[in-house]
């Protein structure tokens, strides 16, 4: 299997589309320039495409192991992790105060895409640490930040997120894990957490668990949830490692994919924990990490789409099967490479046009994360925060769904060879399958978009967001050079706005209908916004010449004609199909 990071496209999006000047203008990024961006992306490509890709299949074959209460990672993972932290990848966007490099989130997103493309299992040992770092940097006391964060940025300590219990997944208000004040400022936590990614392993000397629990006497439901730091090994006052804490691994899961990633069941038996933030306000703090992880999971889907495309494209150039329609590449041969078959071209272009559009949305959102966190303009920061909140469920759900559809299409191009292990396509499918499930299923993301993000005050922002794209498209609708791209995007956007208005009314009057249409609405939203991204890209290169720009224009046109038309069917299904769904009751589904 091969992987070459799409650095040219990444740099185009940053330098020529959104404009690196917007990033450099933010406080703390003054020393960032195009040369630095390119150098880091090239090094990330080298590390990902060699060190991480080379251990991906072996990691899948061997899997993480659990023996005698200890978890071990597959061969090569320790060595790769050592290089990962020695090269500074653990602290790309971390605060320099803690030893990080303080680089832009938009750059971090591009690196995340690369690493997720070549080895999702390895990435999972690192990405939860990044989320835990940012949560603690945001919500923990100065004492905890000084004591724990430098080691996390160095990469010698890692982090986890401990939410799920056997009886409650998304509905965290049902949790049973309890916390009892110990009388010395610490708490004793007892309970069991399941599906804990990287809950135990042999890559770092300590693991810092971020655990939600209920303090005795706290209110029921989500209002009574507190957040705690529970180290695997307790840390002494001087920062050295002390005694083993009372948290132990009971088992690891045997999974369909990401087999090299240890997904653990953890038992907390009066384990010592330290309160993060305020009592009963833990869920609000935890959302800082959850939203980072949701974005990162979406980028896993994007990365897997890219590597699936690259390998299917190369295979299609090598595999000969039947004669292609005229004009053939060589009439003297009995068969042609399948890439000359229109159906194969359609499948490859469907992947590529969506991947490049999704990458634009990733860069766009990464820029707004940077503005949200860095801008001195409070109004701009607030708008950016609303933009990120609106797009987070879209990126998580749509990108992970794209990962599934892309890996399956790529596997189909391989035919029977895609179903066997030799070429690696079946592993991509299996590894990607978890992305629509974890960090809040895609159905949960869709309900978040419909029930929260397009209603109330956030709904007012969503209207302004859509109106800004509407204004942009209207400005360019009469330009003949871009009309073939702008026109279809404008039609889809009008459809999205009308559907949003209809669905918002249903949220108030008929919640069941709104929820039943949520997943279709999220897809309608995503396909349309990506069409707007494509339109803006094509306008930005309106007068530029060269094969790179010509292919961009062709891809945008393909997207508008072959992918975007689905939006009209989605809108019709949402509005006209509501009664058909409402006709069924649970008894109709289970009675026969």
Residue pair 364/541 in contact by the 8 Å Cβ criterion: no
Whether a cis peptide bond, with omega within 30° of 0, leads into 236 is: no
State how far the Cα of 168 lies from the Cα of 174, in Å rounded to an integer: 6
Written as six digits, the tokens of 58 are: 């072996």
Domains of the chain: 7-139 (1.10.540.10), 158-281 (2.40.110.20), 288-325+334-578 (1.20.140.10)
Pair type for strands 206-215 and 187-197: unpaired
Written as six digits, the tokens of 440 are: 């809040």
State how far the Cα of 533 lies from the Cα of 360, in Å rounded to an integer: 7
Q: What is the pLDDT of residues 482-525, one digit of tens each?
A: 999 999 999 999 999 999 999 999 999 999 999 999 999 999 99
Q: What is the pLDDT of residue 29?
A: 96
320: DSSP letter: B
**For the residues of 323-348, what is the DSSP string, one character each?**
PPSSSPS-TTSS--BGGGSHHHHHHH
Give which of 360, 365, 364, 358 is closest to 399, Cα–Cα: 358
Q: What is the pLDDT of residue 583?
A: 87
| DSSP-assigned beta bridge partners for residue 157 | 206
State how far the Cα of 126 lies from the Cα of 77, in Å rounded to an integer: 12
Q: What is the pLDDT of residues 391-438, one digit of tens each?
A: 999 999 999 999 999 999 999 999 999 999 999 999 999 999 999 999
Cα-based distances in Å from 262 to 59, 114, 198, 245, 437: 11, 21, 5, 20, 17
Q: Is the dihedral of CA 490, 492, 495, 497 positive or negative?
A: negative
State how far the Cα of 533 lies from the Cα of 488, in Å rounded to an integer: 12
State how far the Cα of 271 lies from the Cα of 191, in Å rounded to an integer: 9
DSSP SS3 for 280? coil
Q: What is the pLDDT of residue 592?
A: 61
| DSSP-assigned beta bridge partners for residue 266 | 193, 249
305: DSSP letter: H
| DSSP-assigned beta bridge partners for residue 592 | none
State how far the Cα of 361 lies from the Cα of 490, in Å rounded to an integer: 17
| DSSP-assigned beta bridge partners for residue 231 | 208
Give which of 506, 572, 534, 537 is closest to 18, Cα–Cα: 537
Residue 266 backbone phi and psi in degrees, to 5: -115, 135
562: DSSP letter: I
Cα-based distances in Å from 178 to 282, 337, 535: 13, 62, 52
Q: What is the pLDDT of residue 587?
A: 82
| DSSP-assigned beta bridge partners for residue 160 | 209
Q: What is the 3-state secondary structure (H, E, C) of 118-186?
A: HCHHHHHHHHHHHHHHHHHHHHCCHHHHHHHHHHHHHCCEEEEEECCECCECCCHHHCCCEEEECCCCC
The overall longest dimension of the chain from CA atoms, in Å, is 86
DSSP SS3 for 226? strand
Give the catalytic positions in this structure: 439
Cα-based distances in Å from 350 to 232, 301, 305, 550: 46, 15, 11, 17
**Contacts of range 424-428, beta carbons closer than 8 Å, 24 or more positions apart:** 424/1, 424/56, 424/57, 424/311, 425/308, 425/311, 425/312, 427/56, 427/57, 427/60, 427/257, 428/304, 428/307, 428/308
What are the 10-residue block averages of pLDDT along the chain, 592 residues in total? 97 97 96 96 97 98 96 98 97 96 97 98 96 96 97 98 87 87 97 97 98 93 94 96 97 98 98 96 90 96 98 97 93 95 98 98 98 97 97 98 98 97 96 96 96 91 98 96 98 98 93 95 98 98 97 98 98 92 86 66
Question: Tokens 């899997």 correspond to what residue?
Answer: 63
Residue pair 519/580 in contact by the 8 Å Cβ criterion: no
State how far the Cα of 140 lies from the Cα of 447, in Å rounded to an integer: 30
State how far the Cα of 353 lies from the Cα of 408, in Å rounded to an integer: 16
Residue pair 208/266 in contact by the 8 Å Cβ criterion: no
Rg of the chain, C-alpha, whole Å: 24
Helix then strand then coil, % of the chain, to nearest 5: 60, 10, 25
Written as six digits, the tokens of 574 are: 């949402």
DSSP SS3 for 445? helix
Cα-based distances in Å from 261 to 91, 224, 440: 21, 32, 19
Give which of 467, 564, 590, 573 is closest to 519, Cα–Cα: 573
Q: Is the dihedral of CA 402, 394, 288, 374 positive or negative?
A: positive
């Amino acid at each position: 299997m091969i992987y070459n990071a799409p650095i040219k496209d990444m740099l185009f999006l940053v330098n020529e589309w959104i404009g690196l000047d917007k990033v450099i203008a933010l406080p703390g990024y003054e020393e960032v320039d195009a040369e630095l961006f390119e150098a880091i992306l090239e090094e990330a490509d080298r590390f990902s495409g060699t060190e991480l890709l080379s251990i991906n299949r072996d990691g899948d074959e061997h899997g993480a192991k659990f023996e005698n209460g200890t978890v071990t990672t597959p061969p090569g993972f320790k060595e790769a992790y050592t290089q990962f932290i020695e090269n500074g990848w653990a602290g790309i966007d971390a605060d320099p105060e803690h030893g990080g490099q303080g680089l832009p989130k938009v750059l971090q997103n591009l690196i995340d895409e690369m690493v997720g493309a070549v080895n999702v299992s390895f990435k999972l040992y690192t990405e939860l640490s990044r989320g835990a770092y940012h949560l603690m940097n945001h919500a923990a006391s100065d004492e905890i930040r000084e004591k724990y964060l430098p080691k996390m940025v160095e990469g010698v300590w890692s982090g986890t997120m401990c939410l799920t219990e056997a009886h409650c997944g998304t509905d965290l208000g049902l949790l049973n894990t309890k916390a009892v004040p110990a009388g010395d400022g610490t708490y004793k936590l007892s309970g069991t957490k399941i599906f804990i990614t990287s809950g135990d392993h042999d890559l770092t000397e300590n693991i810092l668990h971020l655990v939600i629990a209920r303090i005795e006497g706290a209110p029921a439901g989500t209002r009574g949830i507190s957040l705690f730091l529970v180290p695997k090994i307790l840390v002494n006052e001087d920062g050295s490692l002390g005694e083993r804490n009372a948290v132990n691994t009971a088992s690891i899961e045997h999974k369909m994919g990401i087999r090299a990633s240890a997904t653990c069941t953890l038992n907390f038996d009066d384990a010592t924990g330290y309160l993060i933030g305020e009592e009963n306000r833990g869920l609000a703090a935890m959302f800082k990490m959850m939203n980072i992880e949701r974005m990162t999971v979406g980028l896993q889907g994007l990365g897997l789409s890219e590597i699936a495309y690259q390998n299917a494209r190369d295979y299609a150039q090598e595999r000969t099967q039947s004669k292609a329609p005229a004009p053939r590449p060589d009439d003297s041969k009995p068969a042609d490479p399948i890439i000359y078959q229109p159906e194969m071209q359609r499948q490859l272009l469907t992947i590529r046009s969506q991947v490049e559009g999704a990458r634009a949305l990733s860069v766009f959102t990464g820029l707004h994360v940077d503005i949200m966190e860095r801008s001195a303009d409070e109004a701009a920061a607030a708008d950016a925060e609303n933009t990120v909140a609106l797009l987070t469920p879209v990126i998580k759900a749509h990108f992970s769904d794209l990962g599934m559809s892309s890996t399956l299409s790529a596997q189909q191009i391989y035919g029977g060879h895609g179903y066997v292990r030799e070429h690696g396509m079946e592993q991509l499918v299996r590894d990607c399958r978890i992305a629509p499930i974890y960090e809040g299923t895609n159905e949960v993301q869709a309900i978040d978009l419909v029930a929260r993000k397009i209603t109330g005050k956030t709904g007012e922002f969503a209207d302004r967001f859509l109106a800004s794209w509407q204004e942009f498209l209207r400005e360019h609708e009469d330009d003949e050079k871009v009309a073939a791209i702008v026109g279809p995007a404008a039609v889809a956007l009008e459809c999205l706005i009308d559907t949003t208005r209809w669905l918002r009314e249903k949220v108030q009057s008929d919640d069941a209908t709104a929820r039943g249409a949520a997943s279709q609405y999220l897809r309608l939203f995503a396909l349309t916004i990506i069409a707007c991204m494509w339109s803006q890209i094509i306008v930005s290169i309106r007068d530029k010449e060269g094969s790179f720009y010509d292919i961009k224009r062709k891809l945008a046109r393909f997207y508008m004609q072959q992918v975007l038309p689905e939006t009209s069917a989605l809108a019709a299904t949402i509005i006209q199909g509501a009664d058909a769904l409402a006709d069924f009751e649970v008894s109709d589904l289970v009675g026969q």
